[in-house]
Amino acid sequence: MAFPDQFILELKQNNPIDSVMSSYVSLIRRGRNCVCLCPFHSEKSPSCTVYLDSDPHFYCFGCGAGGDVITFIMKIENLDYVEAIKFLADRAGMTMPDEAKNNEASRIKARVLEINRTAARFFHNTLAKSPDGEKGRRYFAERQLSPATITKYGLGYAPDDWYKLSNYMRSKGFTEDELVTANLCGRGRNGGIYDSFRDRVMFPIIDLRGNVIAFGGRIIDGSGPKYLNSSDTPVFKKSRNLFSLNFAKKTDEKRLILAEGYMDVIAINQAGFENVVATLGTALTQEQARLMSQYAEEIIIAYDSDGAGQNATHKAINLLSEVGVRTKIIHMEGAKDPDEYIKKFGASRFKQLLDKSGGAIEFELEKCKNGLNVDTDDGKIEYLKRCVNVISDISSPIEREVYIGRLAETNRVNKDMLLQQVEGTIKRRINKAKNQEWTEIRTFQKQYKSNPDSYRHPKEFKAEVGIIAYLAANPDETEYVSSKVSPEQFVTEFNRKVYQVMLEKIKKSAFSDIHSLQSEFSADEMGKITEIAVNSKDVNINKTAVDDFINILSSSADNSVDIKDMSNDDFLKYIQNLKNKK
């Protein structure tokens, strides 16, 4: 959807990209620009640059994400173009143009949010006021939740009825298709609909903007899964959201408590710890780990003490380490989970537990003893082998030295021998990584053959990029350029589309800069377009150069490079040469 140029200009002026991005990442000033850890992939050193020139934008040299402030909000908030515009307009207190009201995708999302909001009220009112909610009221009373906590989280109850919610929602004007889209109802074999949540206490899932985006339902008795969670919908992706982050983000603490389930989170919050979150019926994902890293420098994992909880802790440690946050683990004795621990020992003891939580390495080393009798020679040898694998994962040589020394002293073994074992393990992993690199190269070769594009036509690709960059900087030369080369002469499909859209927008006076193409491309595609702009910043493409580029496309027969018979070494050199030319 196209918005008035003046509106988009004012929107960007009222939402400076550094101001908006600093709400999600920590920006570091470097000369005229800023750098930060990219929020769209895992990294430990900044590869994302925020350019604060006349056309403010960001670009990550690690994963290729890039664009202006609108693209950033589309990616970070998982919104489409119109929704991102509305998000930024609301942030700046601007009124949306009338054109936005006709966007179908945005209309569906707005409708689903309205459905969720209405359903949340239905579930809450059923719990609080209806005879149908007595079962839910007894359950929450047994779990010692106060009325204030129930209200704070908007907890509810889904009646033990196949049609109560759907009948109510239809009476409010929602259609059957809309209720199925929102995942509140399923469709039966006869084509009718039925309630997805029945005889369950309900936990609304609320995003950072206060919208009810999904639900979790816990069974009280009877058959069925213990927890039933909303599937992904137009407004909800479970892998990208966290339960109770809407409360946790408001705290001043730079640490988050990661619990395993809804009730643990609510019990911890009720005990006075607002900075607690949980995943949504799945193991921790990379997206959730990156999301937490935006709000905390330290994560305390408070998973259940059973085997499943400990395995989940191990996986979470690895993911959180990848995004560069410190990780600690609480060790509970006398209770299986935080909810039970707080009920038994109180909030002050739980705070002591948090303050005494150990680091991730200590947890992993202690876990190495599981299933072993370390008093026997065989048990001790296996234990030390496991410890060597854990220590080999530590990137800091100083930290490795400390843990090796401690392990050698505790187990009365030679420190140099342990050090040799660790260094050997690290070397083997490096060699394995190199072999993996070759595997990836061969995989790339296969992808290349089925989708050649830029790699098969490197000369033409470079010419196309040059023409696009020149036209972006000199839109007044459109008539000259378009008379010399048509979109059909572009060899690569993506560049052809970019060139064609540029020509159309320039002719309609709807082009201001490379990012004004945004309404026609996805956020990921805008990253590719931003790469063209970034790589052309320091290159002076004049009319003579453009004529050369045009001649390349005009005289191009099939100048593609055939790689099918290339050796690994030749192919690697070929790829490296292409990268060096970019």
Q: Is residue 554 part of a domain?
A: yes
Contacts of 413 (CB under 8 A, 6+ apart): 384, 407
Same domain, 398 and 472: no
What percentage of the chain carries pLDDT values higher than 70? 90
Same domain, 347 and 290: yes
**What is d(CA 66, CA 72) in angstroms, rounded to the nearest whole number?**
7
Residue pair 43/24 in contact by the 8 Å Cβ criterion: no
Question: What pLDDT, on the 0 to 100 scale, is given for residue 577?
Answer: 58
**What is d(CA 273, CA 199) in angstroms, rounded to the nearest whole number?**
30
Residues 569-577, mean pLDDT to the nearest whole number: 55
**What is d(CA 395, CA 393) in angstroms, rounded to the nearest whole number?**
6
Looking at residue 127, its amino acid is L
Selected residue with higher pLDDT from 185 and 539: 185
Residue pair 234/112 in contact by the 8 Å Cβ criterion: yes
Same domain, 445 and 461: no
Same domain, 53 and 94: yes
Residue 457: is its pLDDT beyond 90?
no
Same domain, 26 and 144: no
Q: Which of 317, 338, 362 is the last residue of a domain?
A: 362
Q: What is the CATH number of the domain that holds 34?
A: 3.90.580.10
Q: Is residue 494 part of a domain?
A: yes
Question: What pLDDT, on the 0 to 100 scale, is given for residue 300?
Answer: 93
Q: Is 143 helix (H, G, I), strand (E, B) or coil?
A: coil
Residue pair 227/270 in contact by the 8 Å Cβ criterion: no
**What is d(CA 225, CA 53) in angstroms, rounded to the nearest whole number?**
54
Which residue is it, tokens 């995004």? 323
Residue pair 497/528 in contact by the 8 Å Cβ criterion: no
Closest CA to 454 of 502, 489, 493: 493
Where does the pLDDT of residue 582 fall: very low under 50, low under 70, confident under 90, or very high at 90 and above? very low
Phi/psi region, residue 194 (left: phi>0; alpha: psi -120 to 50; beta: rest), is beta
Query: Which secondary structure element, helix H or strand E, spans residue 218, and what is its range?
Result: strand 212-219
Residue 232 belongs to what domain range?
104-236
Same domain, 118 and 230: yes
Q: Is residue 370 part of a domain?
A: no
Distances (CA, A) of 344 to 85, 277, 290, 334, 341: 49, 21, 34, 9, 5
Q: Is residue 473 part of a domain?
A: yes
Selected residue with higher pLDDT from 254 and 134: 134
Same domain, 83 and 121: no
**What is d(CA 488, CA 445) in angstroms, rounded to the nearest whole number?**
27
* Per-residue pLDDT tens digits for 306-319: 777 778 888 888 78
Where does the pLDDT of residue 122 fall: very low under 50, low under 70, confident under 90, or very high at 90 and above? very high
Question: What pLDDT, on the 0 to 100 scale, is given for residue 304?
Answer: 83
Same domain, 224 and 148: yes
CB atoms within 10 A of CB 377: 8
Q: How far is Cα of residue 310 from the mean position of the Cα atoms in its chain?
A: 24
Q: Is residue 371 part of a domain?
A: no
Residue 11: is its pLDDT beyond 90?
yes
Where does the pLDDT of residue 438 fall: very low under 50, low under 70, confident under 90, or very high at 90 and above? low
Q: Is residue 19 part of a domain?
A: yes
* Per-residue pLDDT tens digits for 374-424: 889 899 999 899 999 888 877 778 878 888 888 888 888 888 888 889 888
Same domain, 91 and 144: no
Q: Is residue 367 part of a domain?
A: no
Q: Is 555 helix (H, G, I), strand (E, B) or coil?
A: coil
DSSP 88-112: HHHHHTPPPPGGGGG-HHHHHHHHH
**What is d(CA 26, CA 24) in angstroms, rounded to the nearest whole number?**
7
Q: Which of 236, 271, 286 is the last residue of a domain?
A: 236
Pairing of the two strands 326-329 and 358-359: antiparallel
Selected residue with higher pLDDT from 201 and 332: 201
Selected residue with higher pLDDT from 321 and 204: 204
| Count of the separate structural domains present in the chain | 5
Question: What pLDDT, on the 0 to 100 scale, is given for residue 248?
Answer: 94
Closest CA to 38 of 27, 54, 30, 23: 27
**What is d(CA 156, CA 136) in angstroms, rounded to the nearest whole number?**
8
Where does the pLDDT of residue 196 fall: very low under 50, low under 70, confident under 90, or very high at 90 and above? very high
Residue pair 365/390 in contact by the 8 Å Cβ criterion: yes
DSSP 424-445: HHHHHHHHHHHHHHHHHHHHHH
Question: What pLDDT, on the 0 to 100 scale, is given for residue 566?
Answer: 53
Question: What pLDDT, on the 0 to 100 scale, is given for residue 308?
Answer: 79
Q: Is 84 helix (H, G, I), strand (E, B) or coil?
A: helix
* Per-residue pLDDT tens digits for 226-254: 999 999 998 998 888 999 999 998 888 88
Q: What is the CATH number of the domain that holds 490?
A: 1.10.860.10
Closest CA to 296 of 256, 331, 246: 256
Question: What pLDDT, on the 0 to 100 scale, is given for residue 574?
Answer: 53
What's the chain's average pLDDT? Answer: 86
Q: How far is Cα of residue 375 from the mean position of the Cα atoms in its chain?
A: 45
Residues 69-80, mean pLDDT to the nearest whole number: 90
- How buried is residue 285: exposed, middle or buried, by Cβ count under 10 Å (0-12/13-18/19+)? middle
Determine if the pTM surpasses 0.85: no
Q: What is the CATH number of the domain that holds 293?
A: 3.40.1360.10
**What is d(CA 466, CA 165) in angstroms, rounded to the nearest whole number?**
58
Same domain, 114 and 210: yes
**What is d(CA 378, CA 440) in angstroms, rounded to the nearest whole number?**
39
Residue 545: is its pLDDT beyond 70?
yes
Q: Is residue 138 part of a domain?
A: yes
Closest CA to 288 of 262, 314, 256: 256
Q: Which of 236, 270, 293 is the last residue of a domain?
A: 236
* Per-residue pLDDT tens digits for 149-183: 999 999 999 999 999 999 999 999 999 999 999 99
Same domain, 225 and 255: no
Same domain, 203 and 173: yes
Question: What pLDDT, on the 0 to 100 scale, is given for residue 449?
Answer: 46
Which of 413-422, 529-538, 569-578 tops mean pLDDT? 413-422
Residue 67: both structure tokens together: 């664009």
227-229: strand order across its sheet: 156-158, 200-206, 212-219, 227-229
Where does the pLDDT of residue 217 fall: very low under 50, low under 70, confident under 90, or very high at 90 and above? very high
Where does the pLDDT of residue 450 fall: very low under 50, low under 70, confident under 90, or very high at 90 and above? very low
